């Protein structure tokens, strides 16, 4: 009679510890997040989360920028360029992990007290519970994560031969990385949630007021989630923008783009199920969501299948910068326009410039750029139509004035082409050659004007189509 009672007591105690461990683990993570926020380390945590999730996505072949020919012959393809990118991502993770570890953790966590109590009460703990207790605090998980990242980086370095870095090796390393993440208890808990209060708050009073005024609870929640998705994407893009602005290895941004490819898929699925399949959503909201879905899908597809194809093999820094800048701009404009469209579908009087002042500034710059391009095109075309000799000096002065004033407002990809035209005009050897090049240059300027007019910041502008031939 005594033994069953003893067994039941041990089992009950074990169940209590497990329950306490789960509850306390969540509390520990929350306490750690509050601690990092107080220590101004929450941005570093967000960056770590982004790189970890991004690496997980980058190891998935679906989110790698590859041509159709490459996807058709994965067995023969070398993944050495991708492994070099992985190494850069691992270095970023190790840096963030080290910085977070230096910030420490709260003096006393709730789980510590639970463990001390149970150790005093039970002389022998279950083997599985011992395994769970190997990482009683987030700092222990950081230590384990740091070791796992270092091990993976060493393995990646061992495959420096392009012939040995095949698809099987790449996928195997990816599976190992995913297992390591799951074994880091608090890191796994951190990555399991899509949004977090500590760095996903949208502190804009006008937008918050619009959402609060939605009477239907379900619609209000779905609108809020849609906005959280889009704002999270902008936070990812901020990391890419930072690397574009500073002297950072741009190749690692491909990891963030892979994460965006995966997250856009989740977002589109949510928008479809939450809005487009519902019969109770108004036409204005449905139209805005439909536009967001189309924009996100088309732009992310363009980034994956066009802009970033062969990016991992690109050796010229200027061309690689161009690929990253174009991809970043496409996705950023899509997200900002989506947020503005969703807000305007709820409030017709809403001014998008209140959310994104840069949109108004960009519109002004684009208007000025378009006008100067058109003036330059008009001047060059006037020279061609004149019957007298070409004013070479006047043409060069106009070209120089544009290069010094507005060239920097063009997309980076257009800089080089403009410079090539300029140099060709200067080096032309005869009047006939100069006229031929000038006609090509006028056509090029017309194309640039059309591209600027089609930029999202100019859509809806009353002057958007005022330029004729």
Judge whether 466 lies within some domain. no
Judge whether 425 lies within some domain. yes
Judge whether 334 lies within some domain. yes
User: For a pLDDT cut of 70, what percent of the chain falls above it?
Assistant: 82
Q: How confident is the model at residue 132 (pLDDT cuts 50, 70, 90)?
A: low
Asked if residue 179 lies in contact with residue 65, where contact means CB atoms within 8 angstroms, the answer is: no
CA separation, residue 52 to residues 58, 90, 187, 201, 462 (Å): 10, 8, 9, 21, 45
Q: How confident is the model at residue 363 (pLDDT cuts 50, 70, 90)?
A: low
Reply yes or no on whether the pLDDT at 171 is more than 90.
Answer: yes
Judge whether 73 lies within some domain. yes
Judge whether 464 lies within some domain. no
pLDDT digits (tens, 9 = 90+) for 398-429: 888 887 777 767 766 677 777 888 888 878 77
The whole-number pLDDT of residue 11 equals 44
Whether residues 307 and 366 fall in one domain: no
Domain end position, chosen among 195, 230, 255: 195
Reply yes or no on whether the pLDDT at 394 is more than 80.
Answer: yes
Average pLDDT over residues 42-71: 95
Specify the pTM: 0.74
Whether residues 282 and 398 fall in one domain: no
pLDDT digits (tens, 9 = 90+) for 308-319: 988 877 778 888
With CA atoms as reference, report the closest residue to 210 among 354, 105, 72. Answer: 354
Whether residues 347 and 365 fall in one domain: no
Whether residues 337 and 285 fall in one domain: yes
The whole-number pLDDT of residue 396 equals 84
The whole-number pLDDT of residue 17 equals 42
Q: How confident is the model at residue 2 (pLDDT cuts 50, 70, 90)?
A: very low
Whether residues 270 and 121 fall in one domain: no
User: For a pLDDT cut of 90, what percent of the chain falls above it?
Assistant: 34
Whether residues 333 and 379 fall in one domain: no
Whether residues 38 and 81 fall in one domain: yes
Domain coverage including residue 215: 202-355
Cα 105 to Cα 1: distance, rounded to the nearest angstrom: 47
Average pLDDT over residues 331-336: 89
Whether residues 394 and 351 fall in one domain: no
Average pLDDT over residues 457-469: 41
Residue, of 135 and 74, whose pLDDT is higher: 74
Q: How confident is the model at residue 463 (pLDDT cuts 50, 70, 90)?
A: very low
The whole-number pLDDT of residue 468 equals 43
* Burial bucket for residue 203 (CB in 10 Å: 0-12, 13-18, 19+): exposed
* Burial bucket for residue 315 (CB in 10 Å: 0-12, 13-18, 19+): exposed
Split into its structural domains, the chain has a count of 3
Whether residues 321 and 393 fall in one domain: no
Judge whether 245 lies within some domain. yes
CATH number for 218:
1.20.120
Structure tokens at 24: 């306390």
Average pLDDT over residues 387-393: 79
Average pLDDT over residues 437-459: 71
Cα 433 to Cα 428: distance, rounded to the nearest angstrom: 6
Whether residues 189 and 207 fall in one domain: no
Average pLDDT, the chain: 81
Pick the most confident of 23-27, 367-371, 392-396, 456-460: 392-396
Judge whether 467 lies within some domain. no
Whether residues 319 and 392 fall in one domain: no
The whole-number pLDDT of residue 237 equals 97
Whether residues 31 and 114 fall in one domain: yes
pLDDT digits (tens, 9 = 90+) for 198-213: 888 888 888 888 988 8
Domain end position, chosen among 195, 225, 243: 195
Reply yes or no on whether the pLDDT at 349 is more than 70.
Answer: yes
Domain end position, chosen among 138, 164, 195: 195
Average pLDDT over residues 78-97: 95
Judge whether 164 lies within some domain. yes
Q: What is the largest CA-CA distance in the chain?
A: 118
Pick the most confident of 258-262, 278-282, 366-370: 258-262
């Amino acid at each position: 009679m005594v033994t069953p009672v003893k067994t039941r007591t041990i089992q009950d105690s074990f169940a209590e510890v497990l329950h306490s461990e789960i509850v306390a683990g969540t509390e520990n993570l929350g306490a750690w997040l509050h601690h990092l926020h107080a220590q101004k380390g929450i941005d570093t945590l967000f960056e770590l989360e982004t790189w970890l999730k991004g690496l997980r996505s980058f190891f998935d072949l679906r989110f790698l920028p590859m041509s159709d020919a490459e996807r058709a012959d994965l067995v023969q393809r070398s993944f050495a360029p991708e492994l070099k990118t992985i190494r850069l991502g691992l270095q970023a993770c190790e840096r963030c992990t080290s910085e977070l570890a230096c910030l420490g953790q709260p003096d006393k966590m709730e789980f510590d007290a639970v463990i001390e109590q149970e150790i005093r009460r039970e002389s022998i703990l279950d083997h599985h519970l011992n395994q769970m207790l190997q990482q009683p605090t987030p700092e222990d998980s950081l230590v384990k994560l740091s070791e796992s990242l270092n091990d993976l980086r060493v393995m990646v370095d061992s495959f420096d031969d392009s012939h040995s870095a095949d698809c099987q090796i790449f996928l195997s390393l990816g599976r190992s990385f995913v297992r390591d993440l799951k074994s880091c208890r608090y890191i796994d808990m951190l990555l399991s949630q899509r949004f977090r209060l500590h760095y996903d708050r949208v502190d804009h009073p006008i937008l918050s007021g619009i959402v609060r005024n939605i009477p239907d609870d379900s619609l209000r929640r779905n609108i809020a989630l849609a906005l959280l998705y889009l704002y999270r994407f902008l936070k990812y893009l901020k990391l890419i923008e930072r690397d574009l602005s500073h002297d950072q290895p741009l190749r690692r941004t491909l990891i963030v783009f892979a994460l965006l490819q995966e997250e856009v898929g989740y977002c589109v699925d949510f928008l479809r199920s939450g809005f487009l399949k519902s019969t109770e959503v108004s036409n204005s909201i449905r139209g805005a969501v439909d536009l967001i879905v189309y924009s996100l899908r088309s732009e992310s597809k363009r980034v994956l299948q066009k802009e970033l194809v062969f990016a991992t093999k690109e050796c010229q820094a200027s061309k690689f910068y161009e690929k990253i800048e174009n991809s970043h701009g496409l996705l950023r404009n899509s997200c900002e326009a989506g947020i503005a469209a969703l807000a305007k579908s709820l409030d017709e009087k809403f001014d998008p410039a209140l959310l994104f002042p840069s949109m108004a500034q960009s519109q002004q710059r684009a208007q000025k750029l378009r006008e100067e391009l058109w003036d330059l095109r008009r001047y060059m075309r006037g020279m061609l139509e004149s019957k007298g000799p070409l004013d070479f000096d006047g043409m060069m002065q106009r070209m120089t004035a544009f290069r010094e004033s507005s060239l920097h407002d063009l997309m980076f990809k257009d800089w080089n082409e403009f410079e090539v035209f300029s140099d060709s005009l200067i080096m032309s050897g005869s009047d006939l050659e100069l006229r031929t090049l000038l006609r090509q240059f006028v056509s090029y300027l017309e194309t640039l004007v059309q591209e600027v007019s089609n930029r999202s910041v100019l859509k809806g502008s009353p002057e958007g189509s005022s330029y004729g031939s």
